[in-house]
Structure 1
Amino acid sequence: MNQFTGGVFAGEFDQGNDNFYLTEVKSLQTGSVLSKKQLSDLYQYLNNQNDTCMITVNDQMPILIQKDEIDLLLRDIGDIMQSLKN
Protein backbone atom coordinates (compact mmCIF):
# COMPACT_ATOMS: atom_id res chain seq x y z
CA MET A 1 0.00 0.00 0.00
CA ASN A 2 1.16 3.52 -0.77
CA GLN A 3 1.39 5.98 2.10
CA PHE A 4 -0.24 9.41 2.14
CA THR A 5 0.49 12.23 4.56
CA GLY A 6 -1.44 15.44 4.08
CA GLY A 7 -2.18 18.50 6.15
CA VAL A 8 -4.98 16.83 8.13
CA PHE A 9 -5.31 13.21 6.94
CA ALA A 10 -2.72 10.45 6.83
CA GLY A 11 -3.19 6.89 5.69
CA GLU A 12 -2.67 4.31 3.00
CA PHE A 13 -4.16 3.70 -0.43
CA ASP A 14 -5.80 0.36 -1.12
CA GLN A 15 -5.74 0.54 -4.92
CA GLY A 16 -7.17 -2.96 -5.32
CA ASN A 17 -10.39 -2.01 -3.56
CA ASP A 18 -10.40 1.72 -4.42
CA ASN A 19 -10.40 2.61 -0.73
CA PHE A 20 -8.33 4.80 1.54
CA TYR A 21 -7.30 3.45 4.93
CA LEU A 22 -7.29 6.48 7.24
CA THR A 23 -4.72 6.14 10.02
CA GLU A 24 -4.53 9.68 11.38
CA VAL A 25 -6.69 12.82 11.63
CA LYS A 26 -5.03 15.93 13.04
CA SER A 27 -2.38 13.77 14.77
CA LEU A 28 -5.04 11.52 16.34
CA GLN A 29 -4.57 7.83 15.58
CA THR A 30 -7.50 6.04 13.98
CA GLY A 31 -8.28 3.12 11.74
CA SER A 32 -11.06 3.75 9.24
CA VAL A 33 -11.62 2.65 5.66
CA LEU A 34 -13.08 5.34 3.41
CA SER A 35 -14.62 4.49 0.05
CA LYS A 36 -14.56 6.83 -2.93
CA LYS A 37 -18.20 7.69 -2.23
CA GLN A 38 -17.50 8.52 1.41
CA LEU A 39 -14.56 10.69 0.37
CA SER A 40 -16.71 12.43 -2.23
CA ASP A 41 -19.53 13.01 0.29
CA LEU A 42 -17.08 14.39 2.85
CA TYR A 43 -15.54 16.65 0.20
CA GLN A 44 -18.95 18.04 -0.75
CA TYR A 45 -19.90 18.55 2.89
CA LEU A 46 -16.67 20.40 3.68
CA ASN A 47 -16.90 22.44 0.50
CA ASN A 48 -20.22 23.86 1.74
CA GLN A 49 -18.87 24.91 5.14
CA ASN A 50 -18.11 28.60 5.65
CA ASP A 51 -16.59 28.38 9.10
CA THR A 52 -15.61 25.68 11.55
CA CYS A 53 -17.30 22.29 11.48
CA MET A 54 -17.24 18.99 13.31
CA ILE A 55 -16.34 15.60 11.90
CA THR A 56 -16.28 12.36 13.82
CA VAL A 57 -13.56 9.76 13.80
CA ASN A 58 -14.78 6.16 14.01
CA ASP A 59 -18.27 7.56 14.69
CA GLN A 60 -17.12 8.23 18.24
CA MET A 61 -14.73 11.14 18.62
CA PRO A 62 -15.85 14.56 17.38
CA ILE A 63 -13.06 16.72 16.00
CA LEU A 64 -13.38 20.46 15.44
CA ILE A 65 -12.07 21.50 12.03
CA GLN A 66 -11.18 25.18 11.68
CA LYS A 67 -11.64 27.09 8.40
CA ASP A 68 -7.94 26.87 7.48
CA GLU A 69 -8.01 23.14 8.25
CA ILE A 70 -11.08 22.73 6.04
CA ASP A 71 -9.04 24.10 3.15
CA LEU A 72 -6.19 21.69 3.94
CA LEU A 73 -8.60 18.78 4.28
CA LEU A 74 -10.27 19.61 0.96
CA ARG A 75 -6.84 19.53 -0.65
CA ASP A 76 -6.03 16.22 1.09
CA ILE A 77 -9.28 14.61 -0.03
CA GLY A 78 -8.83 15.89 -3.58
CA ASP A 79 -5.33 14.40 -3.68
CA ILE A 80 -6.57 11.09 -2.26
CA MET A 81 -9.44 10.83 -4.75
CA GLN A 82 -7.09 11.67 -7.62
CA SER A 83 -4.67 8.96 -6.52
CA LEU A 84 -7.47 6.41 -6.27
CA LYS A 85 -8.43 7.14 -9.89
CA ASN A 86 -4.97 6.11 -11.10
Structure 2
Amino acid sequence: MNNLPEDCIAKILSLTTPRDVCRLSAVSRIFSSAADSDDVWNHFLPSEFPAGFAAPEGLPTRKRLFFSLVDNPLLLLHDPPHLVSF
Protein backbone atom coordinates (compact mmCIF):
# COMPACT_ATOMS: atom_id res chain seq x y z
CA MET A 1 0.00 0.00 0.00
CA ASN A 2 2.98 2.32 0.32
CA ASN A 3 3.01 2.48 -3.49
CA LEU A 4 -0.32 4.30 -3.47
CA PRO A 5 -0.25 8.09 -3.82
CA GLU A 6 -0.67 9.92 -0.53
CA ASP A 7 -3.97 11.49 -1.63
CA CYS A 8 -5.41 8.00 -2.26
CA ILE A 9 -4.36 6.88 1.20
CA ALA A 10 -5.90 10.05 2.64
CA LYS A 11 -9.19 9.27 0.86
CA ILE A 12 -9.18 5.74 2.28
CA LEU A 13 -8.43 7.05 5.78
CA SER A 14 -11.27 9.57 5.53
CA LEU A 15 -13.69 6.64 5.11
CA THR A 16 -12.71 5.21 8.50
CA THR A 17 -13.05 6.73 11.97
CA PRO A 18 -10.88 9.28 13.79
CA ARG A 19 -9.65 6.51 16.07
CA ASP A 20 -8.68 4.33 13.10
CA VAL A 21 -6.90 7.24 11.41
CA CYS A 22 -4.79 7.76 14.53
CA ARG A 23 -3.96 4.06 14.70
CA LEU A 24 -3.16 3.78 11.00
CA SER A 25 -0.85 6.77 11.18
CA ALA A 26 1.66 4.44 12.87
CA VAL A 27 1.83 2.10 9.86
CA SER A 28 4.37 4.09 7.86
CA ARG A 29 5.58 7.59 7.07
CA ILE A 30 3.22 7.97 4.12
CA PHE A 31 0.26 6.87 6.27
CA SER A 32 1.34 9.31 8.96
CA SER A 33 1.54 12.13 6.45
CA ALA A 34 -1.83 11.22 4.93
CA ALA A 35 -3.37 10.99 8.41
CA ASP A 36 -2.34 14.59 9.07
CA SER A 37 -4.05 15.81 5.90
CA ASP A 38 -6.77 18.43 6.29
CA ASP A 39 -8.75 16.51 3.65
CA VAL A 40 -9.01 13.55 6.04
CA TRP A 41 -10.10 15.60 9.05
CA ASN A 42 -12.60 17.69 7.06
CA HIS A 43 -14.65 14.48 6.75
CA PHE A 44 -14.94 14.26 10.53
CA LEU A 45 -16.04 17.86 11.09
CA PRO A 46 -19.80 18.51 11.06
CA SER A 47 -21.13 18.90 7.50
CA GLU A 48 -22.53 22.34 8.32
CA PHE A 49 -19.13 23.52 9.53
CA PRO A 50 -17.99 26.37 7.26
CA ALA A 51 -15.43 25.04 4.77
CA GLY A 52 -13.48 28.29 4.77
CA PHE A 53 -13.66 28.74 8.54
CA ALA A 54 -10.38 30.08 9.84
CA ALA A 55 -9.46 28.06 12.90
CA PRO A 56 -8.48 29.98 16.01
CA GLU A 57 -4.79 30.67 16.45
CA GLY A 58 -3.05 27.63 17.86
CA LEU A 59 -5.20 25.26 15.79
CA PRO A 60 -3.43 25.43 12.42
CA THR A 61 -4.75 22.10 11.11
CA ARG A 62 -8.18 20.51 10.77
CA LYS A 63 -6.89 17.61 12.89
CA ARG A 64 -6.13 19.95 15.80
CA LEU A 65 -9.45 21.72 15.26
CA PHE A 66 -11.28 18.37 15.38
CA PHE A 67 -9.68 17.34 18.68
CA SER A 68 -10.24 20.81 20.11
CA LEU A 69 -13.95 20.55 19.26
CA VAL A 70 -14.12 17.12 20.92
CA ASP A 71 -12.92 18.69 24.16
CA ASN A 72 -14.59 22.11 23.74
CA PRO A 73 -17.83 21.89 21.72
CA LEU A 74 -19.01 24.96 19.80
CA LEU A 75 -22.47 25.97 18.66
CA LEU A 76 -22.70 26.96 14.99
CA LEU A 77 -25.22 29.72 14.32
CA HIS A 78 -26.21 30.22 10.69
CA ASP A 79 -27.47 33.79 10.36
CA PRO A 80 -24.85 35.23 10.02
CA PRO A 81 -22.52 32.21 10.25
CA HIS A 82 -20.50 32.31 13.46
CA LEU A 83 -19.43 30.05 16.30
CA VAL A 84 -20.35 30.36 19.96
CA SER A 85 -18.48 28.49 22.66
CA PHE A 86 -20.20 27.19 25.77
Flag whether TM exceeds 0.5 (same fold).
no
Return the structure number with greater relative CO, CA threshold 8 A, min gap 6.
Answer: 1
Normalized against structure 1, the TM-score is what?
Answer: 0.28
Structure with greater helix share of residues = 2
Structure with greater strand share of residues = 1
Structure with higher Rg: it is 2
